A and B are shown apart, each in its own frame.
Chain A
């Protein structure tokens, strides 16, 4: 079994190194194929491990070697395969395998084809470390590793120029990459502090040791640790106020958006909360905050998606919104439901993004849905895929999203947090609306793309086939709910609805469904026939507010980026040069000047010298007398 663990972990690494060997040479298709095969091997190993954990009910724990030990701190490279990590491993490797195969087709014409696979596999490797590590420091390796890979991949087309924010809200790929990295770093500091708190109170960073020691810790320590760790989770999962990087990250190639910024990396924050559930279940206030923030983000992100015109940004906002749902579930203590939604979301959201990639491919990288329409003729399969994914996202039975999202909303009701429940229900309606607004504007109605001289074509057949596992899972994954619950609750705390909720569950489900269907109907009525621009609406304040992401990126620029640059400039030119350095030079100048001034004593006239000598002797005598008197 240990071998399988290492295969699952290191196959992506091998893939990355292999692709890196060809990193600077022109496109070679076999690089993509080998990478995909290695990823598939990793998937197979993960699946076998999942089966093993399923049958035996016991996890596997391996320790590879020591990493850091200093003082009383010992951090090994240790990996644990249990119900939670194996779920994540399977999801991650499955989606990555699909995305790798997809990328062979999608990145077909890119001259940096090989480099792309190297980065992509490196990302999977980091993600595997993140989910498999048996200690917080190992998690942090993966945490930062995925951050760097995300930086590399967002900035993959680094040669593009910076443009104004009006022209492209994310300015340029390299700008977006840096933004993502730096924002994540802000959160990572919080996470590091969390690790320090745990280390100095527990004496170890191993999950099992830490969790075993939690009951002995004081409430304030627990709260501090939970808050600090959650700040880390907020950055990686792009929760408010660190959310702006995620939509800007759409500058990366679409497979990257599918894998990293939808299915896997952004869910790392949720994973952390689930993984550290013993800690978070002991800090109800922090957990409630998590749930409230999650709910807020769900609504907040969905509102921005309502009016956006950019195909990928709409999906990115929906990712944000769904992450909010996951945090709401985790914060309310329904960890297994959060994990279930995480897995289901990974499937349909990756599918949605890959579908969007097909559209982009067909539309020559055009992303404005107002310039599309009527693509269903040219792209039947893509339409079906995106339709399925959108149905799942909107939470229509029997698709996967229905089961998982409904469970979350029901949890909110069950916990008595009716306010959260109302917002989540409304958000479900908004989700349905914007998903189908996008689908209809892209695939139905008048063929607006013709005005731009574009001849869309369907994606390669093997790419479409490669996408099929995701489509199937997006349809059927929901039915595995019971099995899944049974499987992961061996490790995670089980969560049951109360008797009362149970009675109402049918009605609650219907309310959610009503909102979802309502959203779809609204989208159908407005956009199915074609695009009718409503100038008055588009010029309204609310519309502009939403379209500009509540002006938050502008706000950040005005109150953080620009003042920081100005302050830095001031620190350098005014403080460093004019105060600190000038003081040092001032001392030196004083010495020079005093030397210059006293040089005049050197007249060359012996008689003057003798006078000075006499003065000096008298001076010394006086000093001698005075010191003799006092000492």
Chain B
């Protein structure tokens, strides 16, 4: 299977198109089957992935507009591989747990289409193709929020769309400018990211381009102060929408930083460390506090999501393998944990049609299984060792300590305030006597819900105890990237700041 990446990208879309002829009653089963096949394909991709090779693998290159150097160019490395796996996994799990019955067929088709765009973003090595998938991913999400959302759904959907769209247009300008500079320097047009890597840009160009890309990515992450679309989107989106949004769509932003900003503009990235760290820390502390003030369970998790994304941002700009690998790992961890938490909130929302914590209390006595799984995910979210959440958070903080001890201490408060809002949420909803009559007869997790949540619990524990199968390939690619950045950097500060690991690494062929 040489075209595994193309298959991964287009299989869900084609299956989605075929979905139009599928009977309404069997749409769900059809969707789950397709998502399962897609997931198995991505697992197969993982198994056939050469973990010792730090470069791009399974590369496919078909020129589309050769005159402008635009080509259909796909490939994966350790950094993107696991995000793809997570995207396919979360789509599958999300579909399995989905409780929507209205217009189910449209939902399934939309999700499959969304899956194509998500996988597409993470495998693209051509800026135009990347941009195409990046923007296309907005459409299904707009539809999901706008069609199945809560009372404010249109406002939330439009806000989500316009906000992220504005950012990505600025990013597009940046991309076009890079291509223009590339043309000026080499005489040929190319939009291939790997070609762009080779480009050594003057520092002032780097700064402007960094800024252009930053706007696009930062809104997607979402970084403070561009985060306000997220609580609305989460608040109004149906459970499945929140799961995919938190698990995968946000990762596009942080992935963009790792894939574009760092290797292309190493000097500008080093100069941006302090501003970005400051923003990240504000984001970590401030949104955690806002999360504490929320009355609605889902909003708590939405804001906590922003706070955790701050940790990821911090790790990316640690400029050492510990921090960046930790950061990429934290992307996976955050995807799985926050996805699971949104699913868990969905479980209670399906039963009570409210998410206000004041409506609950004492759920642990009524729904023990639910409480156990919620508790595990909560602990993963606050970064308990031997759960997936710890590995990433620990590595990020460890890595960033090298940059600035004081800022690390500030960022480290996330382990305290994270515990504060999560435990408060848990206490308000699960502990205490059952006071609300409506809660006394609640049913515990159904088998459908259990079967979609248990795999996530297993992953949370497995990757917490033995993260090596995932962390090693990530680390390998990150080390290669850092060595490359160090070689490419022009300014002395950048060379000093970028820390190349002492361990020898196996550098794969890049193209």
Complex-state Cα separation, A569 to B290, whole angstroms: 7
> Which of A24, A158, A564: most chain B Cβ within 10 A?
A158
Instruction: State how many angstroms separate the Cβ of A32 from the closest Cβ of chain B.
Output: 19
Find the residue from A66, A178, A186, A573 having the highest chain B CB count within 10 A.
Answer: A178
In the bound complex, residues from chain A placing their C-beta under 8 Å from that of B382 are 185
Residues of chain B contacted by A158 (CB below 8 angstroms):
364-365, 430-432
Q: Any chain A CB within 8 A of the CB of B472?
A: yes
B84 adjacent to chain A (CB < 8 Å): no
Given contacts A174-B431, A576-B290, A588-B162, contact A71 B321 (CB under 8 A): yes
Pick from A69, A141, A186: contact of B472, CB under 8 Å: A69
Residues 448 to 469 of chain B near chain A (Cβ within 8 Å) = 465-468
Nearest B-chain residue to A573, judged by Cβ: B293
Contact B416 A189 (CB under 8 A): yes
CB contacts (< 8 Å) of B433 on chain A: these are 159-161
Q: B75 at the A/B interface (Cβ < 8 Å)? A: no
In the complex, what residues of B have CB within 8 A of residue A195's CB?
398
Question: How distant is B395 from chain A, measured CB to nearest CB, in Å?
Answer: 5
Is the beta-carbon distance between A572 and B423 smaller than 8 angstroms? Answer: no
B225 touches A24 (CB 8 A): no
Instruction: Find B468's partner among A23, A69, A160, A186 (CB 8 Å cutoff).
Output: A69
Point out the residues of chain B lying under 8 angstroms from A66, CB to CB.
Answer: 466, 468
Q: What chain A residues lie within 8 Å of B54 (beta carbons)? A: none
CB-contacts of B266-305 with A (<8 A): 286, 289-290, 292-294
Other-chain contact of B408, A172, A185, A193, A576 (Cβ < 8 Å): A193
Say yes or no: is A168 at the interface (Cβ < 8 Å to chain B): no
B386 and A572: CB pair below 8 A? no
In the bound complex, residues from chain B placing their C-beta under 8 Å from that of A216 are: none
Is B49's beta carbon under 8 Å from chain A?
A: no
Contact assessment for B325 and A196 in the assembled complex, using a CB-CB cutoff below 8 Å = no
In the complex, which residues 75-103 of chain B have their Cβ closer than 8 Å to any Cβ of chain A?
none
Q: Are B432 and A161 in contact (CB under 8 A)?
A: yes
The answer to whether B427 touches A175 (Cβ under 8 A) is yes
Q: How far is the CA of A199 from the CA of B397 in the complex (A)?
A: 12
Which residue in chain A gives the minimum CB-CB distance to B419?
A: A185
With both beta carbons as reference points, the residue of chain A lying nearest to B393 in the complex is identified as A192
- Taking A158-B364, A196-B408, A564-B292 as contacts, is the C-beta distance between A172 and B432 under 8 angstroms? yes
Question: In the docked arrangement, what's the CA distance between A520 and B181, Å?
Answer: 88
A70–B225 contact, CB under 8 A? no
| B405: interface (CB < 8 Å) | yes
Give per-residue flags for B314-335: 1 if the beta carbon is below 8 A from chain A beta carbons, else 0.
Answer: 0000001111011001000000
Q: Is B501 part of the contact surface with A, judged by Cβ < 8 Å? A: yes
CB <8 Å contact, A572 and B290 = yes
Interface string of B380-423 (1 = CB under 8 A from A): 00101110001100110111011001001100110110011001
Chain A residue nearest to B499 in the complex (CB): A71
Given contacts A159-B365, A160-B432, A196-B405, contact A67 B397 (CB under 8 A): no
Number of interface residues of B (CB under 8 A): 73
Contact B228–A576 (Cβ < 8 Å): yes
Indicate whether A571 reaches chain B with its CB closer than 8 angstroms.
Answer: yes
List the A residue with the shortest CB-CB distance to B502: A72
Query: A193 touching B412 by the CB < 8 A rule?
Result: yes
Chain B contacts for A188, CB-based, 8 A: 415
List which B461-511 residues lie within 8 A (CB) of chain A.
465-468, 471-472, 474-475, 478-479, 499, 501-503
Q: Is A580 an interface residue (CB 8 A)?
A: yes
In the complex, B163 has a CB within 8 A of chain A: yes
Q: In the complex the two chains form, is A182's CB within 8 Å of B420's CB? A: yes
Question: Which single member of A68, A71, A144 contacts B467 (CB below 8 Å)?
Answer: A68
- The contact of B416 among A24, A69, A182, by CB within 8 Å, is A182
Q: How far is the CB of A130 from chain B (nearest CB, A)?
A: 11
Q: Mask for A150-192, Cβ within 8 A of B = 1, else 0?
A: 0100010011111000000000101100100110011011001
Query: Looking at chain A, what size class is its interface with the partner chain?
Result: 35 or more
Q: Is B440 an interface residue (CB 8 A)?
A: no
Kindly list chain A residues whose C-beta atoms are within 8 Å of the C-beta of B290. 568, 571-572, 576
Q: Which residue of A lies closest to B372 (CB)?
A: A23
Per-position 1/0 for A560-597, Cβ under 8 A of B: 00001101110111011000110110001000000000
**Smallest CB–CB gap between B489 and chain A, Å?**
18
B423 contacts A178, CB within 8 Å? Answer: yes
- The listed residue with most A CB atoms (<10 A of its CB), out of B162, B290, B479, B501, is B290
CB-based contact B432/A24 at 8 Å: no
With a cutoff of 8 Å between Cβ atoms, the chain B residues found around residue A271 in the complex are none
CA distance A53 to B243 in the complex (A): 53
B-side contacts of A451, CB under 8 Å: none
A73 an interface residue at 8 Å Cβ cutoff?
yes
Chain B CB within 8 A of A140 CB: yes
Contact, CB under 8 Å: A71 / B427: no
**Bound: A576/B474 CA distance, A:** 35
**A148 an interface residue at 8 Å Cβ cutoff?**
yes
Give 1 or 0 for each of A13-29: 1 = CB within 8 Å of chain B CB: 00000000001100000
Partner of B424, one of A70, A144, A178, A576: A178
Chain B neighbourhood of A200, CB < 8 A = 401-402
How many Å from the CB of A77 to the closest CB on chain B? 9
CB atoms of B405 and A70 under 8 A apart: no
Q: Are B415 and A568 in contact (CB under 8 A)?
A: no
| Contact between chains at B368 and A24 (CB < 8 Å) | yes
> Which of B226, B323, B466, B503 lies in contact with A65, CB distance below 8 A?
B466
When chains A and B are docked, how far (Å) is the Cα of A567 from the Cα of B421? 14
B409 and A69 contact, CB distance less than 8 A: no
CA distance A175 to B427 in the complex (A): 8
Find chain B residues with CB under 8 A from A253 CB. none
A145: interface (CB < 8 Å):
yes
**B351 at interface, CB cutoff 8 A:** no
CB-CB under 8 A from B226, the residues of chain A are 584
When distances are taken between beta carbons in the complex, the residues of chain B under 8 Å from A160 are 432-433
Assess whether B475 is in contact with A565, with CB atoms less than 8 Å apart. no
B-chain residues with CB within 8 Å of residue A571 when the two chains form the complex: 286, 289-290, 293
Contact A182 B398 (CB under 8 A): no
Chain A residues within 8 Å of B159, by CB: 584, 588
- CA of A572 to CA of B226, assembled, Å: 15
A71 contact from B162, B289, B368, B479, Cβ within 8 A: B479
Q: In the complex, A576→B227 CA distance in Å? A: 9
Asked if A155 meets B431 with Cβ closer than 8 Å, knowing A71-B399, A178-B424, the reply is: yes
B174 at the interface (CB under 8 A from A): no
Q: Which residue of B lies closest to A184 (CB)?
A: B419
B116 partner residues in chain A, CB cutoff 8 A: none
Given contacts A68-B467, A189-B416, A584-B163, 17 further A-B contacts (CB under 8 A): A66-B468, A69-B471, A72-B321, A72-B502, A73-B322, A151-B423, A155-B431, A158-B431, A159-B365, A182-B420, A186-B416, A188-B415, A196-B405, A567-B289, A580-B225, A580-B228, A583-B225
Q: What are 12 sample pairs from A and B whose C-beta atoms fall under 8 A apart?
A: A23-B372, A68-B395, A69-B471, A69-B472, A158-B432, A159-B434, A172-B431, A178-B424, A178-B427, A182-B423, A568-B290, A580-B227
